[in-house]
Copies of this chain bind each other. A is one copy, B any other.
Amino acid sequence: MTTEQTSDRRPPHVVILGGGFAGLTAARTLRRAAVRVTLVDRRNHHLFQPLLYQVATAALNPADIAYPIRSVLRGQPNVRTILARATRIDPVARRVDLFDGHLDFDYLIVATGATHSYFGNDDWEQWAPGLKTVEDAIEIRRRVLSAFEAAERQTDPAQLPATLTFVVVGAGPTGVELAGALSEIGRITVAKDFRSFDPRTLRVVLVEHAPRVLPVYSERLSASAKLQLERLGVEVRTGSRVTKIDQTGVWFGEEHLAARTVLWAAGVAASPLGKDLQVEVDRAGRVAVAPDLSVPGHEHIFVVGDLMRFEEDGAMVPGVAPTAIQSGRHAAKNILALLAGRPTRPFHYRDKGSLATIGRAAAVGQVGKLELSGFFAWWIWWMIHIAYLIGFRNRIVVMIGWAWQYFAFSRGARLITGRTWEPARDAERRA
């Protein structure tokens, strides 16, 4: 439906694809510029992905960490937000095709991010969902809570261990967070809710191909994270390669680990739009950008956030929120430079440190040469995430939710929606 022509009389048209940290920061950076901005996202909400695992583990509501993009940009008159799916970029014609229409642009910022990758085994997804969207989180929550419900009704004691085994594949920050939270759910949250089994007997196995958990951290912090995970009751299994996942569990070559619930927290697959830009992409589909974040050969197109491949000092900048925010802002500033006839400037990533939370009062962090772990790291993690959360109301609600969870050892969003583990009428109707 949306079909727009740029005309010489109107201000230049900047199209931003994606309303994540990168796209939203880019739009805000252009707030005083004499440009028309169109921000396109196929969701109506900005999602605070660092806290998505808390939705998956029933601690937060989806709306606590998701905020309507157009509300964030409400006060910025030069931005128009549209809910649409970009299907193709034509960098030469300067045009973006939408599922239902198209947009012509003078400048383009591509910030469509990345999702998880099954390394060519896409059929594993049905048995081991990943965590990128609100729907993913609700589906994981459904599976986790349903496993306990199934255990309550399990009449064959031989099958109980598999019903209560949760496997998390991938020990990056998301995998570590999920594993810690799963263990806490069984050992604390629902510990007294069941009659025919003891939820504290659950088994959480965190599987990692690399020789240690949180491989991007220092060896010392990895060791600390492993210790903290084990204290929370998580079995850590590093150096293990998953060869198959099916409805019975996970296979490591000939070895079988029986598990009803398997979650996927590995791999990176960049947005397919990167391939339209007619330049080099890496194995994950990320676009190798020029030093100023533009696409080589197309100085009016910029790629930022998780979709960008940017190396500095021989290392790739990590796919985290600070990178997205910094690169989004930088690309917008370079567009302002081009508009003013000034040269663009190269991007430099400022590493403000990194933190990974593990569970109640458990985390590790690295700020420059300083290494943190335990309660203090967890507390800093908490403060930073509150500060970043967009939307004042969300901040209060999240704080209350966390305080409640911490002091009352409860989780407030233990809802099974969608399909229940038996085919309920609604699920059938909607299927």
Interface residue ranges, A against B (CB under 8 Å): 1-3, 42-45, 61-64, 66, 68, 70-71, 74, 80-85, 99-101, 133-135, 138, 145-146, 149, 152-155, 190, 192-196, 393-394, 396-397, 400-401, 404, 408, 410, 412-418, 420-426, 430
28 contacts between A and B (CB under 8 A): A2-B155, A3-B155, A42-B424, A43-B424, A44-B145, A44-B415, A61-B61, A62-B417, A63-B414, A68-B193, A68-B414, A68-B415, A80-B152, A80-B195, A82-B153, A83-B420, A84-B153, A84-B422, A99-B422, A100-B422, A134-B415, A134-B417, A135-B426, A393-B400, A393-B410, A397-B400, A397-B412, A400-B400
**How far, in whole Å, are A2 and B100 apart by their CA atoms in the complex?**
50
Q: Do A135 and B62 have beta carbons less than 8 Å apart?
A: no
Q: A85-B425, A153-B1, A415-B66 are in contact. Are A42 and B193 (CB under 8 A)?
A: no
Q: A397-B397, A422-B84 are in contact. Are A64 and B61 (CB under 8 A)?
A: yes
Q: Do A422 and B2 have beta carbons less than 8 Å apart?
A: no
In the bound complex, residues from chain B placing their C-beta under 8 Å from that of A145 are 44
Q: Do A193 and B74 have beta carbons less than 8 Å apart?
A: yes
Q: Do A393 and B404 have beta carbons less than 8 Å apart?
A: yes
Chain B residue at minimum C-beta to C-beta distance from A80: B195
Q: Do A70 and B194 have beta carbons less than 8 Å apart?
A: yes
Measured between C-beta atoms, what is the minimum distance from A195 to chain B in Å?
A: 5
Q: Do A133 and B426 have beta carbons less than 8 Å apart?
A: yes
Q: Do B153 and A421 have beta carbons less than 8 Å apart?
A: no
Question: Among the interface residues A68, A138, A155, which one has the most CB atoms of the partner chain B within 10 A?
Answer: A68
In the bound complex, residues from chain B placing their C-beta under 8 Å from that of A196 are 80
A420 in complex: contacting residue of B43, B81, B404, B412, CB < 8 Å: B43
**How far, in whole Å, are A157 and B192 apart by their CA atoms in the complex?**
59
6 tightest A-B contacts by CB?
A63-B413, A61-B61, A83-B149, A44-B416, A70-B193, A80-B195
**How far, in whole Å, are A74 and B404 apart by their CA atoms in the complex?**
18
**How far, in whole Å, are A135 and B84 apart by their CA atoms in the complex?**
24
Measured between C-beta atoms, what is the minimum distance from A428 to chain B in Å?
A: 11
Chain B residue at minimum C-beta to C-beta distance from A427: B135
Measured between C-beta atoms, what is the minimum distance from A317 to chain B in Å?
A: 27
**How far, in whole Å, are A104 and B261 apart by their CA atoms in the complex?**
31
In the bound complex, residues from chain B placing their C-beta under 8 Å from that of A424 are 42-43, 85
In the bound complex, residues from chain B placing their C-beta under 8 Å from that of A138 are 417
Measured between C-beta atoms, what is the minimum distance from A147 to chain B in Å?
A: 11
Measured between C-beta atoms, what is the minimum distance from A346 to chain B in Å?
A: 34
Measured between C-beta atoms, what is the minimum distance from A35 to chain B in Å?
A: 15
A42 in complex: contacting residue of B66, B401, B422, CB < 8 Å: B422
Measured between C-beta atoms, what is the minimum distance from A204 to chain B in Å?
A: 21
**How far, in whole Å, are A418 and B418 apart by their CA atoms in the complex?**
10
In the bound complex, residues from chain B placing their C-beta under 8 Å from that of A408 are 393
Q: Do B45 and A416 have beta carbons less than 8 Å apart?
A: yes
**How far, in whole Å, are A192 and B194 apart by their CA atoms in the complex?**
49
**How far, in whole Å, are A87 and B80 apart by their CA atoms in the complex?**
51
Q: A83-B420, A422-B84 are in contact. Are A193 and B45 (CB under 8 A)?
A: no
**How far, in whole Å, are A74 and B70 apart by their CA atoms in the complex?**
42
In the bound complex, residues from chain B placing their C-beta under 8 Å from that of A84 are 153, 422
Q: A85-B422, A85-B424, A424-B42 are in contact. Are A154 and B1 (CB under 8 A)?
A: yes
Q: A43-B416, A61-B62, A61-B63 are in contact. Are A155 and B1 (CB under 8 A)?
A: yes
**How far, in whole Å, are A154 and B1 apart by their CA atoms in the complex?**
7
In the bound complex, residues from chain B placing their C-beta under 8 Å from that of A146 are 83
Q: Do A44 and B420 have beta carbons less than 8 Å apart?
A: yes
Question: Among the interface residues A45, A82, A99, A393, which one has the most CB atoms of the partner chain B within 10 A?
Answer: A393
Measured between C-beta atoms, what is the minimum distance from A234 to chain B in Å?
A: 24
